[in-house]
Structure 1
């Protein structure tokens, strides 16, 4: 077993407070095992990114095969939080793909954990992490918005349209803070969805890949992903694999709210690709553009509302999972 010095970024507010319970379980177990660790607790949005950037300057090291021969423990960064915390850390690490990253899911959705077949039981995930002998490679999405020059790494998916509008409305809801305090944070998204579903209009979307150009004059949803899960466990693309370079694009045509109920049932049954209003593609590079202002989200983080001109690619990074 590799001798590790764990550097734990703890988001105790993750999962409507579930992160606090999981953090206690993890640190208690590490004490019992006499594992060396340091903790860094996030206090605000963006704090995980700041902590990671500091650790990059003085602590973290790239993985090399000969690391196991070192006399000092290998410094391993581990995120204990949800998909949003993981998103911050991955973007702070940026192109340092050879610095391995551990993860113990503590959020409400935990789609990344599902996508890489990582246990959502914290002590099981910890035990697996401690018994790993070397990191493994998983692909991340990368996008560049040419209109704003913004770039991000994405561990789950990028959504344009109704899902992003729901994220935006939920995040700005006065009820969200209260619901989080009651450990009912997911209710804010259900309430937002019940409102947005009647307001969202179709939008023009242009898709380019493999020399093809496809125009959708009336899209409702456009999601780019490289693993199956979306929205807290919904298998948007059941065959997507983060260990492959291919990414998946799913475009849904605008439909009135009453038809969306039937589509939601198909999604739950994983038969949504049989719908003529659902379009599914696989590719290694992708361009998306919309001339009208649309909401966007990446791993549940808001991208604002603006016209879009995005290019996507994938790249492997080391994960200690």
Structure 2
């Protein structure tokens, strides 16, 4: 529970929900807990330098992010190295993958109350070419969906599903060379997901064995197969039917590879698109991925 002061950072455009109702809930619930607080809007630039001194001088103990995974990424990446604070999430985005992976309630009222009853625990994050990711990132098909979704005018699960279907019919496998613990292999794959949490969002658990604090990345590689088999292979992964694998034995026999590692490098031979925590990012021919163990404290 907050012992000093709490700041709520609200993304006014995340997801599809109206934020005025959330602001009122924040006001009512926080006043009821008799905790001093302040509400500040997020900014598109991601510059939160002004918060660093404010957190120290005003004895702010908790920072609640009201938004989706992209907003969570932006705020935490700007602050986690320089301030000692508990981060909380009130999920109002399109997917809310990190909040769901951490067991944070989906409804704003319950999520706000959870800020006062949950416990802050250190969780991991990771970097891709030194770019911060706190939940799930990837290259290939899902990244193309993220790029196209960002360009659209609609938000929410329905719009994302529509964009996924459009891209499914156009999808072609990309070529990658993967190096894990000194072992290198080539794969033609529709996408590679690198997960710290267990899901894409909306309770779609792409990495069922993922743990936010185990010091390992869960890597899912959906290899080249017929389009007719593709949805069923992904569904098996989502349902948890694919167990963690030994790469040496499984590369040539499995449609979906699923393994854990603290780091890996990806030669992105066809410059497949990249997303970081669901937000489109500039891709590169070489991607180095490394875990950040016990990176920041999240109220869970």
Same fold, TM-score > 0.5, yes or no: yes
Q: Secondary structure at the match of 1:169?
A: helix
Alignment partner for residue 262 of structure 2, among 277, 284, 299?
A: 284
TM-score w.r.t. structure 1 length? 0.82
Structure 1 residues 19 and 232: alpha-carbon distance in aligned structure 2, compared to 1, 3 A threshold: farther
Conserved 8 A contact 2:10-2:41: yes
**Aligned-residue offset at 1:232:** 2.4
Conserved 8 A contact 2:177-2:185: yes
Structure 1 residues 14 and 199: alpha-carbon distance in aligned structure 2, compared to 1, 3 A threshold: same
Could you give the per-residue CA deviations for residues 18-39 of structure 1, whole angstroms, max 9, x where no partner exists?
4443332122222333321111
TM-score w.r.t. structure 2 length? 0.87
Structure 1 residues 188 and 127: alpha-carbon distance in aligned structure 2, compared to 1, 3 A threshold: closer
- The whole-number CA distance in structure 2 between the counterparts of 1:95 and 1:136 is 16
**Aligned-residue offset at 1:15:** 2.0
**Aligned-residue offset at 1:268:** 4.5
Conserved 8 A contact 2:175-2:189: yes
Structure 1 residue runs of 5 or longer lacking an equivalent are 63-71, 145-150
1:188 aligns with 2:159: yes
**Aligned-residue offset at 1:139:** 0.7
Conserved 8 A contact 1:9-1:41: yes
* Map 1:142-157 → 2, pairs under 5 A: 142-144=127-129, 151-157=130-136
1:68 paired residue number: none
2:299 paired residue number: 320
1:245 paired residue number: 215
**Aligned-residue offset at 1:126:** 2.5
* Map 1:111-190 → 2, pairs under 5 A: 111-131=97-117, 135-144=120-129, 151-172=130-151, 176-177=152-153, 179-180=154-155, 185-190=156-161
Q: Secondary structure at the match of 1:84?
A: helix
RMSD between aligned residues: 2.4
1:219 paired residue number: 189
2:35 paired residue number: 35
Conserved 8 A contact 1:109-1:232: yes
Could you give the per-residue CA deviations for residues 148-195 of structure 1, whole angstroms, max 9, x where no partner exists?
xxx2221111110000011112222xxx32x34xxxx33332222222
Conserved 8 A contact 2:68-2:95: yes
Q: Secondary structure at the match of 2:49?
A: helix
Could you give the per-residue CA deviations for residues 206-256 of structure 1, whole angstroms, max 9, x where no partner exists?
11122211221x111101111211142211121110111011111111223
Structure 1 residues 284 and 305: alpha-carbon distance in aligned structure 2, compared to 1, 3 A threshold: closer
Number of residue equivalences: 291
Could you give the per-residue CA deviations for residues 33-88 of structure 1, whole angstroms, max 9, x where no partner exists?
3321111123x533xx22x32101x21249xxxxxxxxx85442211111111011
**Aligned-residue offset at 1:102:** 1.9
